[in-house]
Amino acid sequence: MSEKLSEMELKLKSFILNNNDFKNLAKKFTFMFRDFTPFKDYCKIRWIREEKEWEFGEYYLHNENKKIPADRVNVFFLDLNIDGFNWGTLLGELKFRFEEYLEKNLMKEEFEKNSTEYKKFRKRFLEQHKEDVKNIFFTLNEETIKIYFMKTLKRLRRIRFEQVTRLIP
């Protein structure tokens, strides 16, 4: 992200990377299956001009068939679906961790991959370790938010432009 960012945009990037409330919501709702529904998950945040900081607001579930509320100029909605993370990538990570677990703790030869015993063991592993793997796997850093941040930044700039042009007579 070599593009020149304003102070507000830099603070937004910092908020996305460091706010635990946002991270926990994103971790939960990135892996929420919402295909074939009009609903989308957002985090409502507010820009506090005097302090020059973003403030966490709340979780917001929005029906995409309706317009997002524009209650205040300094309120913004962050999409909670972080690009690059989805059920497919999480399941791939779980499979990798399971294979790693088998190598460290059991001999692979003990199970045939298509056996009922192997499938039960894998299912039990996934149930017991899914949250732990998700916590390790779902990391927000400069690289993992790059696409997400650029898409969010584009949307923020468009909204701010629309707000400014509305205010000009």
* pLDDT tens sequence across 9-50: 999 999 999 999 999 999 999 988 887 889 999 999 999 999
Q: Is the confidence at residue 149, as pLDDT, over 90?
A: yes
Residues 147 and 157 in one domain: yes
Residues 118 and 159 in one domain: no
Query: Which two three-digit tokens encode residue 27?
Result: 């971790």
Residues 76 and 20 in one domain: yes
Query: What DSSP line would sit under 106-156, residue for residue?
Result: S-GGGS-TTSHHHHHHHHHHHHHHHHHHHHHH----TTTTHHHHHHHHHHH
Residues 26 and 71 in one domain: yes
Residues 101 and 63 in one domain: no
Instruction: Please report whether residue 126 resides in a domain.
Output: yes
Instruction: Give the chain's domain count.
Output: 2
Residues 20 and 71 in one domain: yes
Chain length of the chain:
169
Query: Count of CB atoms within 10 A of residue 132's CB?
Result: 10
For position 82, what pLDDT does the model report? 93
